[in-house]
Amino acid sequence: MPRTTSPVIPANDSPGVIAFPPLLYVGTLLLGLLVHWFRPLHLSTTFWIRIAGAFILVLGAALARWGRNTMVRAGTNVIPNQPTLAIVTDGPFRYTRNPLYIGATLAYTGLTLIFNSFWPLLVLPPLLLVIHWGVVRREERYLEAKFGTLYLAYKQSVPRWL
């Protein structure tokens, strides 16, 4: 009789992300705005930067909401410390494996432009590195272990970002 091995799944059936992703975005934005409070450094003197920020904020929020709603309709958990119950491949997940994080990044950028502050943009690249290594890569390892070839096929057909 051939021996089969089960995929290695974390004991608590979650990807073990380092922190709740929205908290990472909000905390980093607040850090940037706190620095701005003490040492203001504006991006522009024109009003149009705030209009662009509002547009980007709405776009990001809409993308994140679309992704969240798609996950809920598929019957899987949205919060990353809860088990993933299904691989979602429709809605925005047809175009990117991470629409919620792209949406959050756009919303963060939009808010930075609305507040017309340089500092949150300065701390955005480190935030994105934390999201990539501390959240996305952990989620990918978890999904590969849990769903195997189903997730690998999806991973091959849809880019991580865009």
How far apart are alpha carbons 101 and 114 in whole angstroms? 20
Q: What is the pLDDT of residue 74?
A: 97
Determine the pLDDT at residue 2: 43
Which pLDDT value is given to residue 152? Answer: 97
Cα–Cα distance measured from residue 23 to residue 54, given in angstroms and rounded to the nearest whole number: 21
* Residue spans of the chain under pLDDT 50: 1-7, 9-10
pLDDT (0 to 100) of residue 12:
75
